[in-house]
Amino acid sequence: MTGSSRGPNDPGRRDRIIDAALELVAARGVVSVTYRSVAQAAAVPLGSVTYYFDSLQQLLGEAFTRLAESESSRYGALLERARTPQEAREAVVEIICGQQVGSERELLLSYELYAFACRNPELRSVMRSWMQASRAALSRHFDARTARALDALIEGLIIHNSVDEEPTSREDIAVVVAAITG
């Protein structure tokens, strides 16, 4: 008998492992992520996780990078469609208030990334890349100083509105965005 009795290669395995890690972080937090829990969630052998990722830090770094790139892409798409300054302001309000950018799952993952990056300085580059992508998208319509202020406003209002008993209304947010953008 010649050849391997092993089944066909599984080209999507690495991606499934990263996706499973994100799902575990969203469901139970970074502290719940182990090689074993990820392998189980991804329905892969434990050895596959250690084969693709030398450490949990590397796995979580790649998982959070995927999150940041995905969120940046959706965020950027809203701003890309804007053709006028008013449409750009409306896009900023939509980023803050709409469901296209930040679901509850993504918000939880963002909180986990912030905390994890604070405790693991080598992961701060993921946060910096995300901020740079956000500012670049905003800079299509606004000067660099305004883009930076809007980026901070967006994150701050999203966080505040997620926990405030009386979230800032869409109308009030539109007024603040208009004031900042002049």
Q: Is residue 60 part of a domain?
A: no
Contacts 24+ apart (CB under 8 A), 71-75: 71/101, 71/102, 71/106, 71/110, 71/130, 72/130, 72/133, 72/134, 72/137, 74/100, 74/101, 75/101, 75/133, 75/134, 75/137
- pLDDT value for 71: 87
Say whether both 46 and 134 belong to one domain: no
| Predicted local confidence at residue 1, as pLDDT | 43
Say which residues have a Cβ less than 8 Å from residue 95's Cβ, sequence separation at least 6: 75, 78, 79, 101, 102, 154
pLDDT tops 60 at residue 35: yes
73/87 Cα distance (integer angstroms): 18
Would you say residue 27 lies in a domain? yes
pLDDT digit string, tens, across residues 89-105? 999 999 999 876 567 88
Mean pLDDT of 15-44: 96
Dmax of the chain from CA atoms? 76
- Inside any domain, residue 5: no
One domain, residues 176 and 132: yes
Provide the residue range defining the domain that includes 38: 11-53
Please give the pLDDT value at position 101: 53
Is 145 a domain residue?
yes
CA pair distance 49, 1, nearest whole angstrom: 31
pLDDT single digits (tens) 134-163: 999 999 999 999 999 999 999 999 888 888
Residue 117 has pLDDT above 60, yes or no: yes
6 pLDDT exceeds 60?
A: no
39 with 75, same domain: the answer is no
Mean pLDDT of 78-93: 96
Q: With contact defined as beta carbons under 8 Å apart, do 23 and 41 qualify? A: yes
* CATH code of the domain containing 145: 1.10.357.10
pLDDT recorded at residue 102: 62
pLDDT at 64: 94
pLDDT number for residue 107: 86
pTM of the model: 0.83
